[in-house]
Structure 1
Amino acid sequence: MEEKALRSIKPYLDKLTLGVTRILEASPGVTEVMFVEKEPAERHAIVSWEQKNACVLPEDLKNFYLMTDGFCMTWSVKFDENPMPLGAMTINSISNLSRLGAPPVYNLPSAPTLADLEDTDEEEGNEDQPEKPHLDSRSLIFELDPCGGNGKVCLVYKNTKPVVSPDSEIWFLDRALYWHFLTKTFTAYYRLLITHLGLPQWQYAFTSYGISPQAKQWFNMYKPITLNTEQRSEEAEPFINKLDPSKVFRSKNKTPVLKKKLPAQPLSSQKGQTGAAPRNPVQPGSSSKRREPQT
């Protein structure tokens, strides 16, 4: 029965995971590729969430929930002949898409909140790095992925007023409560999640300090399907080819230059030319008589 169920969801699984399950199953040492099939979210549940939080879900995220209420895919590697969990790809369901930094119902007046622990150094946004979110009432933040305790991937609304066309972004909040921009749309983030195979701490590859040495070893063994070329271009200047192709790759149809052959010289003259020069050459105006050796 389980094999028939897997066969029935195989086309659906390949479409949802962009074929990454076949890549993982073909990778050396990978075992127990597990995918949790979930039913689509009810439309009234999405409407209820939007009314409760006074914001509208992005259209691509709403379509995702109408196809599957969340996403969960894990895979392990063989370590001493035993499976060890390694990769995890998670997107919370609509019911677990909870607001981050919301004040609790019962709280003491002097109790600290996440907004009190937030970095107070405000940085102005630019085209490459938008303005950072805030954990207070200036932003609406919802947790998409708990990242296994290594941080949180969040859906961020910077405009807290109810809007018809939502302006949302995807950000990563690390364990030190620093924000790092990931993507502008949920679809772009979903592709990053799949192409990085859910490797541990893969979100830190989009930070200024990068992934840990231990996680880098797993990256070397199971490389992501795609590379972050935009981040690499920021860290290092792009290589500019200054070579002139017209000078390097010259045409082969040029007129050949014919070399004239010199007439062959007699053997005696060649020996005279190749012999060593005399130690005392005859100077101009001096006697040309040679001194006979004494016997």
Structure 2
Amino acid sequence: MEEKNGSTKTYLETLTLGVSKLLETSPGVTDVNFREKQPAERHMIVSWELKNKCMLPEDLKNFYLMTDGFHMTWSVKFDDYSIQLGSMVINSISKLNRLGSSSMYSLPNAPSLADLDDDIEEQEREKPHFDSRNLIFELDSCNGYGKVCLVYKVSKAGVLLPDTEIWFLDRALYWHFITDTFTAYYRLLITHLGLPQWQYTFTSYGVSPQTKQWFNMYKPVTFNPVLLSEETEAFLNNLDPSKVFKSKCKTPVIKKKLPAQPPGSQKGHTSTVTSKRPTRK
């Protein structure tokens, strides 16, 4: 990674929850690249919401107001060659496209995604559908091995429900639930270091043997479903993702002026101003 000034490095470490610094000091890791993106303009978000007739979740909206998408990669060195291994991606607002709204092919009468859908439920949660029951948007194309999607539900009365979910769509068009919120998904993306096919840890068939080898080298407990939640929770206890996704529109604080007291009335009362004393080393 190119040398950056202090403010840019602080921004990077905050956005990546400190993982960028961890990668830079990991053995064998090279070429940690982060594509810095400008914040999305508010009118772009409003335009997206009007076009798709739905409101972005507040945490995802605040994320776009801080950076219009996210792209970070890192490589490992073998002999004299460097190969890209980790990839962390969140599509920009302009590439947050809806799935299932058009045919898969350009041939006449070709099946759409809705035609290939089924109503077989194999999970406790109702899986997404490509028809009018859901609105589905692509957050990450996962380098071709699936898609991470933001999913809205539509009630039987045709009303769009406010709560969203994050699901993984594999190449066989099977759905796998990941988490309830974008913030939680972002945490998982960072804590898994963007390792190849890490989303398959949330499927019934799990990750490939090759992927397990990468996990053993760079994150041994990631693929273990028993330790996954404990590890992620322990990692996040020292972080505050709400500061990453905070909105730039701050609510003004109105300071109330206290009524003046007579000089004699202050006797016997403890001051609310705490004095700062130097810390003893």
TM norm. shorter chain > 0.5: yes
In the alignment, structure 1 residue 193 sits paired with structure 2 residue 189 = yes
User: Counterparts in 2 of 1:94-133, with a 5 A limit?
Assistant: 94-103=93-102, 110-118=109-117, 120-123=118-121, 126=124, 130-133=125-128
Change (3 A) 1:50 1:29: same
- The C-alpha deviation readout for 1:40-68, integer Å capped at 9, x for no partner, is 00001001100100111000000000000
For 2:94 and 2:192, locate their aligned partners in 1 and report how far apart those are by CA, in whole Å. 26
Show the counterpart of 1:260.
Answer: none
For 1:49 and 1:61, locate their aligned partners in 2 and report how far apart those are by CA, in whole Å. 13
Show the counterpart of 2:137.
Answer: 142
Q: What are structure 2's unaligned runs of at least 5 residues?
A: 231-281
Q: CA RMSD in A?
A: 2.4
Change (3 A) 1:122 1:29: same
Larger radius of gyration: 1
Change (3 A) 1:121 1:162: closer
Change (3 A) 1:179 1:230: farther
1:122: Cα distance to partner? Answer: 2.1
| Larger proportion of strand | 2
What TM-score does the superposition give when structure 2 sets the normalisation length? 0.74
For 1:217 and 1:182, locate their aligned partners in 2 and report how far apart those are by CA, in whole Å. 22
Structure of greater relative contact order (alpha carbons < 8 Å, 6+ residues apart): 2
Q: What are structure 1's unaligned runs of at least 5 residues?
A: 234-295
In the alignment, structure 1 residue 57 sits paired with structure 2 residue 56 = yes
Identity percentage of aligned residues: 71
Question: Could you tell me which amino acid in structure 1 is paired with residue 150 of structure 2?
Answer: L
1:113: Cα distance to partner? Answer: 1.1
Question: Could you tell me which amino acid in structure 1 is paired with residue 93 of structure 2?
Answer: I
Structure 1 runs of 4+ with >4 Å offset: 106-109, 160-163, 224-228, 230-233
Show the counterpart of 2:44.
Answer: 45
Question: Could you tell me which amino acid in structure 1 is paired with residue 42 of structure 2?
Answer: R
For 2:113 and 2:220, locate their aligned partners in 1 and report how far apart those are by CA, in whole Å. 33
User: Counterparts in 2 of 1:105-254, with a 5 A limit?
Assistant: 110-118=109-117, 120-123=118-121, 126=124, 130-159=125-154, 161=158, 163=160, 166-223=162-219, 228-229=225-226
For 1:173 and 1:110, locate their aligned partners in 2 and report how far apart those are by CA, in whole Å. 24
Query: Does the aligned pair in 2 maintain the 1:69–1:94 contact within 8 Å?
Result: yes
Higher mean displacement: 187-196 or 23-32: 23-32
What TM-score does the superposition give when structure 1 sets the normalisation length? 0.71
1:125: Cα distance to partner? Answer: 5.6
Change (3 A) 1:230 1:92: same
